[in-house]
């Protein structure tokens, strides 16, 4: 019996030691038990698209979440284990992984990444009393529907991002007509819904089209080419692409060039990927700042911490902030002399108040009762002639 206990403790310690690992494997089925080497131990999970068409987003989120866990474990003397659950950005996979998480000892969850996934898993987490916080799901209804009582987000919702983007287009790009193409997903359609009324109010003619974002290969490329040839007219000097796959926006831009047409592309956070979408002259909005040139110590440590994983976009920083919220909540529970549980971690998350200087989001992280941030700015980038992103004021 003693040998079994020794083996179990050793295994738990090894598991805990590996929590900050840089591995990008997508182990999903096994939910490891919390380690027992310190007095404040817990396990949390992260749901994200670690494989599939938007894996670059999910892996970036994973690497930043791992960094947050490692940093906060060291700073708060906690022993929190981060388990990974790959959802491929699909609601059905997210539901399956959520059921596994609920059956595991996890006290809270980072993610999922997509709004459509949050819609699918929110009621499940709600019934189980598990706090979950996303670094990228921005559909406004997630916090207004009342169906996701334990949901939080470390990013502004589309009611903030969409109007900010639309107003920027109206005031700075001044088009007479815009082509707006959604990708048939909740995220994309949510943003479009907030932008179109602003264009119409400004007297801008709107040509709204839909791309089937789940198509692949030849069909997808054909669909994008057809949209350029059949829908993009010379008056539409701005094309808004609130898509989730940056590579598709790049294909759109190349088709515009090939067909000798001109338009300024304006993508949203889903297209924010310096390695995949780099059409010169385009704009990309995002819910996370660019920390690559920041002089703050925290930002510098993040930049060096994830450098080994190659180029990254703007999805990582909000997920770092989201993970940090959970880590701080667990730490505060322990400091209050309690063992972390789903209920006390949820209560602690609701009381979150992280000062701007202590988060890479450079803004206070505190939540409204519905899980939305109290206040948060958006971020905007312009792609220069060399294909590089430069952060610009979004007002």
Partner 1 sequence: MQEFIQTIVNGLQTGSLYALIALGYTMVYGILKLLNFAHGDVYMVGAYIGYFVIHWFGGPTALSIPVPLLILIMFALASTGCGLLGVAMERFAYRPLRDAPRIAPLITALGISFVLENTVLLLFGGFTRSYQTESFISATSGIHLGGVTINIVEIMVIVVSVAMMFGLRQIVHRTTLGKSMRAVASDREAAEMLGINVNRTIALTFFIGSAMAGVAGVMSGLAFDQITNTIGFLAGLKAFTAAVVGGIGSIAGAMIGGIVIGLAEAFSLSYISTKYADLIVFGILIVTMLVRPQGIFGRPLLQKV
Smallest CA-to-CA distance from 184 within 219, 209, 220 is with 209
**Minimal distance, residue 26 CB to partner 1, in Å:** 9
How far is C-alpha 61 from the geometric centre of its chain's CA atoms?
7
247 interacts with partner 1 by CB under 8 A: yes
Smallest CA-to-CA distance from 209 within 252, 171, 251 is with 252
171 vs 229 by CB, closer to partner 1: 229
132 interacts with partner 1 by CB under 8 A: no
By CB under 8 A, name the one of 37, 200, 259, 353 that touches partner 1. Answer: 259
92 vs 368 by CB, closer to partner 1: 92
DSSP category for residue 173: I
- Distance between CA atoms of residues 203 and 198, nearest Å: 9
251 interacts with partner 1 by CB under 8 A: yes
180 interacts with partner 1 by CB under 8 A: no
66 vs 394 by CB, closer to partner 1: 66
50 interacts with partner 1 by CB under 8 A: yes
3-state class (DSSP) for residue 348: helix
Q: Which stretch binds partner 1 (CB under 8 A): 111-119, 246-254, 357-365, 377-385?
A: 246-254
211 interacts with partner 1 by CB under 8 A: yes
209 interacts with partner 1 by CB under 8 A: yes
| Window 82-101: residues binding partner 1 (CB under 8 A) | 88
**Minimal distance, residue 62 CB to partner 1, in Å:** 13
229 interacts with partner 1 by CB under 8 A: yes
212 interacts with partner 1 by CB under 8 A: yes
| Dihedral of alpha carbons 128, 125, 63, 332, sign | negative
Say which residues have a Cβ less than 8 Å from residue 14's Cβ, sequence separation at least 6.
none
**Minimal distance, residue 133 CB to partner 1, in Å:** 24
Residue 88 near residue 245 (C-beta atoms within 8 A): no
Query: Judged by CB under 8 A, how many residues of this single chain contact partner 1?
Result: 38
Tokens of 373: 């941030």
Q: Which stretch binds partner 1 (CB under 8 A): 2-10, 52-60, 284-292, 320-328?
A: 52-60
308 interacts with partner 1 by CB under 8 A: no
Contacts 24+ apart (CB under 8 A), 89-92: 89/49, 89/52, 89/53, 89/54, 89/58, 89/113, 89/114, 89/116, 89/117, 89/244, 90/52, 90/117, 91/116, 91/117, 91/119, 91/120, 91/121, 92/120
3-state class (DSSP) for residue 328: helix
219 interacts with partner 1 by CB under 8 A: yes
Tokens of 101: 């998480």
Smallest CA-to-CA distance from 317 within 361, 277, 353, 348 is with 361
260 interacts with partner 1 by CB under 8 A: yes
184 vs 370 by CB, closer to partner 1: 184
Binding site for partner 1 (CB under 8 A): 50-56, 88, 184, 209-212, 215-223, 225-227, 229-230, 245, 247-248, 250-251, 254, 257-260, 276
């Amino acid at each position: 019996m003693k040998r079994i206990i020794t083996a179990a403790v050793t295994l738990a310690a090894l598991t805990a030691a590996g929590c900050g690992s840089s591995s990008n494997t997508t182990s999903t089925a096994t939910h490891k038990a919390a380690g027992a080497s310190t007095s404040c131990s817990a396990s949390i999970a992260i749901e994200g698209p670690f494989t599939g068409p938007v894996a670059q987003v999910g892996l970036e989120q994973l690497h930043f979440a791992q960094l947050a866990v490692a940093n906060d474990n060291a700073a708060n003397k906690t022993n929190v284990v981060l388990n990974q659950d790959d959802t491929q950005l699909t609601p059905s996979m997210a539901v399956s992984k959520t059921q596994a998480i609920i059956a595991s000892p996890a006290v809270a969850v980072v993610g999922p990444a997509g709004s459509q996934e949050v819609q699918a898993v929110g009621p499940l987490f709600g019934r189980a009393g598990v706090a979950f916080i996303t670094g990228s799901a921005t559909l406004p209804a997630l916090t207004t529907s009342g169906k996701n009582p334990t949901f939080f987000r470390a990013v502004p919702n589309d009611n903030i991002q969409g109007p900010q983007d639309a107003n920027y287009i109206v005031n700075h790009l001044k088009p007479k007509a815009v082509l707006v193409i959604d990708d048939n997903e909740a995220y994309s359609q949510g943003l479009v819904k907030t932008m179109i009324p602003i264009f119409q109010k400004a007297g801008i003619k709107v040509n709204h089209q839909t791309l089937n974002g789940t198509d692949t290969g030849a069909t997808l490329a054909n669909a994008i080419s057809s949209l350029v040839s059949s829908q993009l007219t010379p008056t539409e000097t701005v094309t808004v692409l609130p898509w989730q796959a940056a590579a598709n926006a790049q294909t759109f831009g190349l088709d515009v060039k090939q067909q000798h047409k001109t338009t300024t592309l304006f993508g949203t956070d889903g297209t924010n990927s310096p390695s995949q979408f780099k059409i010169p002259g385009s704009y990309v909005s995002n819910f996370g700042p660019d920390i690559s040139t920041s002089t703050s110590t925290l930002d510098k440590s993040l930049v060096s911490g994830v450098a080994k994983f190659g180029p990254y976009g703007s999805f990582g920083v909000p997920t770092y902030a989201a993970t940090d919220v959970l880590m701080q909540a667990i730490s505060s529970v322990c400091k209050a002399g309690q063992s972390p549980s789903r209920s006390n971690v949820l209560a602690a998350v609701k009381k979150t108040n992280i000062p701007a200087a202590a988060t890479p989001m450079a803004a206070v992280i505190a939540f409204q009762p519905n899980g939305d941030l109290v206040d948060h700015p958006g971020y905007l980038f312009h792609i220069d002639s060399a294909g590089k992103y430069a952060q610009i004021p979004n007002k």
